[in-house]
Chains A and B, each alone.
Chain A
Amino acid sequence: MDVRKKRFALASAYFLLGAGTVVFTLVRWTPKPGTDWVIVGLFALAFAALSFRSVEVNDRMLASSSAMVIATASTYFAIHTKATPQGFIEFDAVTVVVLIAAVGPLDILDFRGRRVFQPASNFGLLVVSAFAAGLVADTLLDGRGAQETGDFVYVAAVGALVGLVYNLVNISLVRFGVRIAYGSRNILPWSGLWMLFGSQILMGLLGGMLGAVFEFASNESLLLLILVVYVLGHTVFTSYSVLRVAHESTLRGFAKTLETRDLYTRGHTERVAYFSQLIGQELGFAGTQLEHMRWASLIHDMGKLAIPIELMRKQGTLTDDEYRRLRTATHTVDDLLSEVDFLRPMVDVCSGAHPRQPEEDFGQTGHHHTTTPTLEQKVLAVADAFDAMTSVRGYRMAMSQRAALDALREDTSPLYDDEVLAALEAALDKVGETYGPPQLASSVIQEDVVSRG
């Protein structure tokens, strides 16, 4: 099934789920005089504005601080409309937050662009998450109208729980959707996800506290400050996204530099990144480690930038002098890359992943040559060598996958570790890909579609 069909099925399923939830909520609900529709409208506006401005925090994963609005609204309305306790669960907070969430995905740009899938599935996602969140608030805050400090703590805790539930439901649905629609192997790893999740929970807590204060203090002025805090929450996600884009941009810039210099290695870096990611996943790397693997692969050839082109294109063996020039150039670029703070650990991985002659002296350049390479260095070395062997170079034909793996196994260098090689083979089996002849199409085309789903 192609991506389009999958996305269609997914969007329809989510939409129907959401529509069902809205209908169920409205049928179940009897309007009460305590509901202040102006405030509902304000919250809905804030929610829509925040979801509209949601930022892509990771590959195809959008986040926004709208959970704060849900937490505030559900705590506030769960208490506010229940001046007289009723005894059973009233759908007060549920109705309000479901209504708020239902108008959230209405986005003028989507209408203009005639996009249907994303708004439809977003609608379902948000409504279902809001329903779960509102249910928590209604259940736990039933019949509470007293204005005591002890109540504030309880209400704030419920707010945090509301935020947690909302985010858990939302994130699991999104992750499930992305997995179904795109498959997991095209998703770029990112180390910041857990921190992001932590922020979401804290924002739920803050949102709940705001709802409780707004109810207890009954001072309209708080609305203005609450809105400012929402904007601040938005800033948090934007900052994550900005930092991630900064890192990605840096890597892309360096990769492009390399490509401009030498069209010959075009695609090599990306394939090495892909192979090292495959190996990493097979070896059980996660988050940060996978991300570092990818970054290291993207910069592992940067040393070439300082090598005079006549040396790079030279066929046959290099003289000693030429070899020394080549080494110095590589290390100069390593030093240069180390000036970028976040690349420093990756440069260490790269500089250890190049196979070396035993007699080489690294004492003067300040680079430590450890005799036992780290696991990351081994992974990168294997990915690099494997791609070099299975693709066509100016001076030789490409080797078949089997021949390349066998040759690497026979190599005595500690870099070509058997465990890592086995992981590569297993991973390639799993994704059903073979490199080198007879399949000449060895480049992996990574789909570069970013969806707001």
Chain B
Amino acid sequence: MADLKTIRGWSWIVSALIPLGATAAVVGFVETDDELAWMAVAAVAFGVASLSVVPSAGRGRFTAGYLVVASVPFVSTSDGDRLFTTREILLALAAGSAITWIMRAARSDDQKMVLADFFKRSLSYGSFIAAFAVGDTSLKFDQVVGWHDALLFVLAASAGFVGEMATSAAFRSRVGGGGPRLFVVLDTARDLNVYLSLVAAGALFGIAFETIGWWSLLLAALPYAFAHGAFRRYADARQTYSQTVRSLARIPEVAGHSDPGHAARTADLAVGVAAELGLRPRDVDTVEYAALLHDIGRISLNEPSVLRMGFTDTDIARWGSEIVGETSYLAEVSDVVLRQHEPYRNPGMESSEDVPIAAKIVKVCSAYDESTHELGSSPLESMEKLHRGSVYDYDPEVVAVLRRLLERRGAFDRSVSRR
């Protein structure tokens, strides 16, 4: 295991060197005046670079291909004209995409996924190039002397990102799970920093190329390597939190305080409900972690029984939230763990606004899972209990969403056929 870890630690260098090395190798064989040769260089560089994926937080999957896409339009010849026309760029990118497609298809099992990626990327790259072409030819950026390229960069980069978000939403079913379109768009938007560092490094290459030649490869490769390392560490940190939460969540189960698998099943339902309710991706994470950890406070009980010792749910929730509160990242989760046992409204009062929606979701999903698994009720009976409890305990809105989710998953069909 240790060896694998070491290799992973250096992977950013490898992935920075791949596009670099490939381009340099091709460059060795071309005459600099030949248009076609230049296009071949761009195509091969793009095709190979697209194979190396940069880690990111949301569901955007950004490749080093963005470096090439953002750099090629900016490259100028020594007399100040662009080296490539828009048509040449598009041709080169199409050829490059074909290379990527062939190489990925050869080693992937999921051909549909590869094809979907191919279309997705073509669309988002296309919007970058199109915006650049429009800006370069029709808009009067030339009057803003010196800042011409900067304005073009802003325009093209924004268009490319909008294209990326739109295609993610359009292809949502392909990339794991789905959820409402707005959720997918927001989830993609989390990766703006990854995207921005890639296109900025690319544009840097394109603008500097005229002056310093192939040294600008190094100028683009360094930021790329930084981005790769940094975002991998972010991904590692997120993975650490997720692993920690999952590990902590199993402790009450191991110690015999709660039903094995209860936390995981509750979390699965809660995430579905939260996404259905249109919570932001970060809040969905909070809901998932809170659902996993909602019983953690039980480990302070002497015996696996709540009532006998005279502790109340409030005590358990408080202990749990103290444990979770030790981790700064999970501060919101801690609050949810504290509040998840509370009724959504108290007698004689309207719905109490200060109970977070995440806490209401966890309460409902936990009760449903407890009813179906520990008490042995059928899904329909369990839903009935939730409906009856929705005067005070369970927020009717959340219960309705849970029912929709379960209907879609076919939980009720199964219970009918079982009878």
Contact = CB atoms under 8 A, between A and B. Distances in A.
Point out which of B213, B216, B240 has the most chain A C-beta atoms below 10 A from its C-beta: B240
B102 to A, nearest CB: 32
Contacts of A254: 244, 248
Contact of A260 (B204, B207, B322): B322
Nearest to B200: A228
B255 A216 contact: no
A153 interface: yes
A152 B215 contact: yes
Given A249-B327, A253-B326, A344-B1, A229 B223 contact: yes
B268 interface: no
Contact of B222 (A153, A202, A246, A252): A202
Interface in B59-110: none
B192 to A, nearest CB: 11
B229 A224 contact: no
Nearest to A307: B255
Interface in B352-397: none
Contacts of B237: 239, 242-243, 245-246
A310 B255 CA distance: 12
Interface in A236-270: 236, 238-240, 242-243, 245-247, 249-250, 252-257, 260-261
A233 B226 contact: yes
Contacts of B265: none
Contacts of B197: 228-229, 232, 235
Contact of B240 (A202, A246, A255, A309): A246
B229 to A, nearest CB: 7
B247 A257 contact: no
B302 A342 contact: no
Interface stretch (B147-155, B159-167, B174-182, B408-416): B147-155
B262 interface: no
B248 A236 contact: no
Contacts of A242: 233-234, 237
Given A209-B219, A236-B226, A236-B229, A340 B326 contact: no
Contacts of B254: 305-306, 329, 332-333, 336
Interface in B245-301: 246-248, 250-251, 254-256, 296-297, 299-300
Nearest to B1: A344
Contact of B246 (A205, A253, A255, A339): A339
A308 interface: yes
Contacts of B223: 206, 229, 232
B67 to A, nearest CB: 13
Interface string B209-222: 01111011011001
Interface string A48-92: 000000000000000000000000000000000000000000000
Contact of A232 (B1, B227, B303, B323): B227
A221 B148 contact: yes
B233 A225 contact: no
Contacts of A336: 247, 250-251, 254
Given A221-B150, A222-B204, A340 B244 contact: yes
Contacts of A209: 215, 218-219, 222
A243 B254 CA distance: 28
B346 interface: no
Contact of B215 (A153, A243, A255, A345): A153
Interface string A209-228: 11011001101111111001
B244 A253 contact: yes
B45 to A, nearest CB: 19
Q: Is the interface of A mostly helix, strand, loop or mixed?
A: helix
B300 A260 contact: yes
B236 interface: yes
Interface string A149-161: 1001100100000
B208 A257 contact: no
A448 interface: no
Nearest to B329: A249
Contacts of A216: 211-212
Nearest to A65: B226
Given A199-B226, A219-B146, 17 more contacts: A199-B229, A202-B222, A217-B210, A221-B151, A225-B153, A225-B204, A229-B200, A235-B226, A236-B226, A239-B233, A239-B234, A246-B236, A252-B326, A253-B324, A260-B300, A308-B303, A309-B302
Interface of B: 1-2, 5, 146-151, 153-154, 193, 196-197, 200-201, 203-204, 207-208, 210-213, 215-216, 218-219, 222-223, 225-227, 229-231, 233-234, 236-241, 243-244, 246-248, 250-251, 254-256, 296-297, 299-300, 302-303, 319, 322-324, 326-330
11 contacts: A205-B222, A206-B222, A216-B211, A228-B197, A232-B197, A253-B244, A260-B297, A309-B303, A336-B250, A341-B5, A344-B1
